[in-house]
C-alpha cells in the first residue's frame, strides 16, 4: 500500500466506525483461507462485515472515535467485525468460535462501553433485532385484538338476554 491508499483506508474505516454501533475484535491466527471465507459468508448473511486490517492503520482509524478504547486489543493477527445490529455480529462470531479453535474473540465495544469476551458471549445470547421487532409488533397487535373481543362480548350478551326474553314471552303466550 502506498501512502495515499493508507490514508484512504484510514478514512473509510473511520467513516465506518462513525456509523456503526458495535465493533468486535478477534484473533485470526492460523485460520485457513476457507475458514475466513466461511466466516465472511456468515457475517454477510447476518448483515455484518468482517475485515482483516493492519493494526497500525486500524488504531489510527479508531483514534478520535467512540471505539478508541479497543485500540489495546489490536496486537498480533487481528480482525474487526462490525454491524448496525450488535447481536448479529456477536452471535455469528460466537457460533464460529465454537466450531473453530483458531478464531478467538478478544473483545469489542458497544458504543462507548467496552466488552470483554464474556460480554460478547452474553450479547450473543440476546434475541436478535428481528426477533425483538416481531415481539414488539405482537405486543402492539395483542391489545387491539383484545379490545375487539371485549367490544363484541357486550353485544352478544345483549343478544342472548333479548333472546331469553323472547323465549319467555313465547312460552307465556303458548301457556
What integer best gives the mean pLDDT of the chain? 84
Once rounded to an integer, what is the mean pLDDT over residues 120-141?
79
* Range in 19-28, 48-57, 72-81, 147-156 with the lowest mean pLDDT: 147-156
pLDDT at 133: 79
pLDDT at 168: 78
Q: Which residues 6+ apart lie within 8 Å of 2 measured at CB?
A: none
Res. 147 pLDDT band, cuts 50 70 90:
low
* Range in 3-17, 29-43, 158-172 with the lowest mean pLDDT: 158-172
Q: Which residues 6+ apart lie within 8 Å of 87 measured at CB?
A: 123, 124, 126, 127, 128, 129
pLDDT at 38: 93
Once rounded to an integer, what is the mean pLDDT over residues 13-24?
86
User: Considering the chain, what percentage of its residues have pLDDT values greater than 70?
Assistant: 88
**Coil, helix or strand at residue 102:** coil
Q: Is 172 exposed, middle or buried (0-12, 13-18, 19+ CB in 10 A)?
A: exposed
Res. 148 pLDDT band, cuts 50 70 90:
low
Above 80 in pLDDT, residue 172? no
**Residue-wise pLDDT tens digits, 23-57:** 999 998 888 899 999 999 999 998 888 988 888 98
Above 80 in pLDDT, residue 161? no
Distance (Å) of CA 171 to CA 160, 166, 167, 168 = 16, 9, 6, 5
Above 80 in pLDDT, residue 10? yes
Above 70 in pLDDT, residue 158? no
Amino acid at each position: 500500500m502506498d501512502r495515499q491508499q493508507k490514508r484512504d483506508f484510514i478514512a473509510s474505516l473511520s467513516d465506518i466506525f462513525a456509523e456503526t454501533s458495535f465493533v468486535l475484535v478477534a484473533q485470526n491466527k492460523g485460520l485457513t483461507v476457507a475458514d475466513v471465507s466461511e466466516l465472511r459468508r456468515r457475517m454477510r448473511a447476518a448483515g455484518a462485515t468482517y475485515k482483516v486490517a493492519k493494526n497500525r492503520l486500524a488504531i489510527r482509524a479508531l483514534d478520535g472515535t467512540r471505539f478508541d478504547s479497543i485500540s489495546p486489543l489490536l496486537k498480533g493477527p487481528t480482525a474487526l467485525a462490525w454491524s448496525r445490529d450488535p447481536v448479529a455480529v456477536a452471535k455469528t462470531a460466537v457460533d464460529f468460535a465454537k466450531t473453530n479453535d483458531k478464531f478467538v474473540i478478544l473483545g469489542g465495544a458497544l458504543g462507548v462501553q467496552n466488552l470483554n469476551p464474556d460480554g460478547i458471549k452474553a450479547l450473543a445470547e440476546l434475541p436478535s433485532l428481528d426477533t425483538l421487532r416481531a415481539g414488539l409488533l405482537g405486543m402492539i397487535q395483542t391489545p387491539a385484538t383484545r379490545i375487539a373481543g371485549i367490544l363484541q362480548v357486550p353485544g352478544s350478551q345483549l343478544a342472548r338476554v333479548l333472546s331469553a326474553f323472547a323465549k319467555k314471552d313465547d312460552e307465556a303466550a303458548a301457556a
